[in-house]
Structure 1
Amino acid sequence: MQYRRLGSTGLQLSALAFGAWMTFGRQVGRTEARELIATAWGHGITFFDNAEAYAHGEAERVMGDAIADLGLPRDGYCVSSKVFFGAAEDPRPTQRGLSRKHVVDACHAALRRLRVDYLDLYYCHRPDPDTPLEETVAAMDLLVRQGKVLYWGTSEWPEALVREAARFARSHHLAQPVVEQPQYNLLHRERVELEYAPLYPELGLGLTTWSPLASGLLTGKYAGGVAREGRLAQPDATWLQRLVLGEGGERRLERAQRFVEAAAELGEKPAPLAIAWCLRNPHVSSVILGASGVEQLRENLQALELARRYDDPVWARLEVAATR
């Protein structure tokens, strides 16, 4: 395993992380979760990602129970949660958003579900137009000062809003956001590579990126449309299908298929190769993996070796295949 600093902080994260989105509490129960986390830990993964909204909080319960059952040392791993969407199936106004009340309540709930005394990382899962930015920043600072959160950041925030939050925090001597969690893969690059570019030197922003396989498109499994298995085929994932295969979806499938074919020419499986491509970005602190089975996770862990195997011309050819 490789370990990378989270932006300009002193926190070291495993270059590959393990996340619970769309798996824990849904496809994956407690027994399988223990096996997956044990495998991840055994291969050097020390960062485990979660959110209040994943399976309405059940993903955090499953992960917390698995980590406790395995007896992982608290000072040896990092765990995250995210706040915005709420954990309730039909949340009332105070059960979602980024108000001081929900930010604090959600943090306490995540601590209980994950069975920890503090969160290493706590993200604002989306911007909240109904809450003043200053209130949210102050709430995050409060949790940091109380020792319930060590580092905080954002997920899928526009560049201008991240900068504004950091500026307010600095001017009022508050804890500032140090990390963003955006989608990043061969089919979705603009935000990480262009929009956030000024923030890396200006704020020392770190990235923990999600969906390195573009919800499975870069594995080739959806070449003929949505299959019976996989993330997009889950009964309640129609919103994800629209996001991934909506406007421009056919073009996206074509680009993904060309990447799969280019991977075959190299004699490599497309999934770990696509993850390896993400690892090559120096601004990426950690790439979050999702897996519903141990063999799938082990295959994806091969990305670490693949990132070192090929030179720049090979990666350039893969990029061309996925963009032309």
Structure 2
Amino acid sequence: MTRIGNSDLDVFPLSLGGNVFGWTADREASFAVLDAFVDGGGDFIDTADGYSAWVPGNSGGESETIIGEWLASRQPKGVVVATKVSQHPDFKGLSASNVRRAAEASLARLGVDTIDLYYAHFDDETVPLEETVAAFGELVSDGLVRHVAVSNYTAERIREWVEIARRTGVALPVAVQPHYNLVHRNDVEGTIIPVAQEFGLSLVPYYSLASGFLTGKYRSVDVEGQTSPRASGAAKYATEAGLRIIDTLEEIGDAHGASIAATSLAWLRAQPTVAAPIASARTVEQVPDLLAGARLELTPDEVDALNRVSEWTPAKA
């Protein structure tokens, strides 16, 4: 188990991504994945109110609705649910009124009284940050949210949020959710991790497996014949340098009897301030690798080997 920042959230060190629920995993498949994750020891689920508004026929909130129906059906003990605000088509941005209405809508879809971890999904510079910070603080003081967090914020804006929260006496953020993995390192390591260390924040990275590239499934830039919506996103990493990372992951994983995906997640967990990488699964068969990635402990030499082979990574990929 791992603690998120200075909060009382003590979670399994891997978060199950809910972005696929209502998209590439229908209700039945989503229930099966959630069951397998919890049966295997998982207890931390990540979603957002905007998932999956981009799918034709969807309007946003589909993932939260499926998770809410699963929670009602299974009534699991101790499951921590994180969700986010700013991207639902009906609740765009981070004005105070919008944050409140979006949180209430998420609570209704999830069927819970309190959101465990509530993220500002994307920064909204059209709204004074003081207004957004106060809105999140009120959600905590009113009991709608236990802890607040930020996603896709720059280090400067995270620092500003913390300073405002301290000055006004409202709830401080406990986590940051950045895009971070073995093929996307520099910006996070150069700016986000230092500010997280300074303020005692935990990282809960998304795209932990680089849209599937870090599973080893995509070893060519040619995606012809691939039916997955993620194939083109993953294949762009299948360069000579990217494939050297896969080869190193495979070699280290073989020494542990672990998959490439599990080894990649284990590397991410070994990075400073990282509490629980986010990874999603469309099928039950994909869940064991995620659970293994939360339990695999790499040696310092193995972490160093992966650090070295991935040093080529551009800041923007």
TM score, norm. by length of structure 1: 0.86
Question: Which residue of 2 is the match for residue 44 of structure 1?
Answer: 41
2:277 aligned with 1:287: yes
Flag the 1:269–1:203 CA change in 2: closer, same or farther, 3 A: same
Shift in Å, 1:161? 0.5
Do 2:270 and 2:303's aligned partners in 1 also have CA atoms closer than 8 Å?
Answer: no
2:175 aligned with 1:162: no
| Structural mapping, 1:1-324, within 5 Å | 3-21=1-19, 23-55=20-52, 56-73=60-77, 76-86=78-88, 88=89, 91=90, 95-225=91-221, 226=223, 228-233=226-231, 241=233, 249=236, 253-266=239-252, 267=254, 268-306=258-296, 308=297, 310-324=298-312
Q: Deviations over 1:160-182 (max 9, x none)?
A: 11111111111111112221111
Q: Deviations over 1:61-106 (max 9, x none)?
A: 1111112211213xx11111111112x3xx5xxx300001111111
Q: Secondary structure at the match of 1:120?
A: strand
Shift in Å, 1:222? 2.7
Shift in Å, 1:118? 0.9
Shift in Å, 1:231? 4.3
CA distance in 1, matches of 2:205, 2:25: 22
Q: Deviations over 1:232-279 (max 9, x none)?
A: 24xxxx8xx4xx77xxx46x6333311222233342521111111111
Deviation larger for 109-118 or 252-261: 252-261
Flag the 1:176–1:305 CA change in 2: closer, same or farther, 3 A: closer
Question: Which residue of 1 is the match for residue 57 of structure 2?
Answer: none
CA distance in 2, matches of 1:85, 1:206: 23
Shift in Å, 1:190? 2.4
In structure 1, list runs of 5 or more residues that go unmatched.
none
Deviation larger for 123-132 or 294-303: 294-303
Do 1:120 and 1:149's aligned partners in 2 also have CA atoms closer than 8 Å?
Answer: yes
Q: Secondary structure at the match of 1:8?
A: coil
Do 1:51 and 1:81's aligned partners in 2 also have CA atoms closer than 8 Å?
Answer: yes
Amino acid at match of 1:135: E
Amino acid at match of 2:228: G
Q: CA RMSD in A?
A: 1.9
TM score, norm. by length of structure 2: 0.88
| Percent of aligned positions that are identical | 33
CA distance in 2, matches of 1:201, 1:220: 31
CA distance in 2, matches of 1:291, 1:133: 35
Amino acid at match of 2:49: E
CA distance in 1, matches of 2:215, 2:175: 28
